[in-house]
Amino acid sequence: MPERGNRPRAKKAPEPPAPASAMSIHAHPDDQEFTVGGTLAKWARAGCRIVTVCITSGEGGSNDSTPAEMTRDRLLPLREQEQRAACRVLGVEEVVFLGYPDGVLEPTIALRRDLTRLIRRHRPAAVLCGDPSVRFYGSTYINHPDHRAAAQVALDAVFPSAETRFIFPELLDEGLAPHKVAAVFLHGSEKADTFVDIAEVLDVKLAALREHRSQMGDWDPTEMIKQWAAEQGRPRKLAAAEAYRRMRLHD
Ligand SMILES: [Zn+2]
């Protein structure tokens, strides 16, 4: 048995190159900008074609800065508009809203079919989503149930639904052939193994986030986002990063 000291150190995987195409799947407008916005901005600038899928339109989102006269019906188009504007800043080509009600999202088969349809239609090489196994972040934030449901169904749609011919055979009737997603990037994972350096696009991430005016109010997210990026980059000595658990499903 070789001595521990002589064993070569595990090689740290380098940052993966931008995929040719990607689908970013989230529960609410602004989830994407908080979590994977830097990565998308970087990939878009490298020529990656990106589709954003927003499962709800965020009409349940309110905070201290939401005017008292605001209603769900009025908030819905506003939040869609903000998400489209944020996507333009990042360089995302297309945004799809699935129209599920905000705040009560469930991991249903209907949602799995809808996401499978989109994956088969757009055929992304990579999918970005949350980590459905994370229930708590530190001791101050319980992961939103919509986030967990969105992440769970996104993964279920990637595997096995999108790549298996006879799951949702009705999609074949729509002309949608199976598609194999090569890699999945899970943000917010406790088992991060992949680090995307976002130092050069941190300003773009912040600019995209600021488009969500109905949620930001007067709050400037700069300090918090910089701190998150520094924390996520620390394992690789990067000044600013977005960290992922990466599943490589196909070559
Ligand atoms: Zn959210």
Which of these, 107, 101, 103, 148, lies nearest to 129 by C-alpha position? Answer: 148
Mean pLDDT of 88-109: 97
Identify the DSSP state of 66: S
Element (H, E) at 100: strand 94-100
Going from the Cα of 28 to the center of ligand 1, the distance in angstroms, rounded, reads 5
Mean pLDDT for the chain overall: 94
In this structure, which amino acid lies at residue 140?
T
Going from the Cα of 228 to the center of ligand 1, the distance in angstroms, rounded, reads 16
Going from the Cα of 200 to the center of ligand 1, the distance in angstroms, rounded, reads 25
Going from the Cα of 2 to the center of ligand 1, the distance in angstroms, rounded, reads 49
**pLDDT tens, position by position, 71-87:** 999 999 999 999 999 99
**pLDDT tens, position by position, 15-69:** 999 999 999 999 999 999 999 999 999 999 999 999 999 999 999 886 776 788 8
Going from the Cα of 70 to the center of ligand 1, the distance in angstroms, rounded, reads 19
Going from the Cα of 55 to the center of ligand 1, the distance in angstroms, rounded, reads 10
CA dist., res. 158 & res. 52, Å (int): 15
CA dist., res. 165 & res. 170, Å (int): 10
pLDDT value of position 12: 78
Going from the Cα of 160 to the center of ligand 1, the distance in angstroms, rounded, reads 25
E-assigned strands of 147-227?
A: 183-187, 194-197
pLDDT value of position 2: 47
Q: Where are the alpha helices (DSSP H) in 36-174?
A: 37-45, 72-90, 109-122, 145-156, 169-173
Exposure string of 70-100, with b = 16+ CB inside 10 Å and e = fewer, is eeeeebbebbbebbbbbbebbbbeebbbbeb
Enter the pTM of the model: 0.94
**pLDDT tens, position by position, 119-142:** 999 999 999 999 999 999 999 999
Going from the Cα of 147 to the center of ligand 1, the distance in angstroms, rounded, reads 6
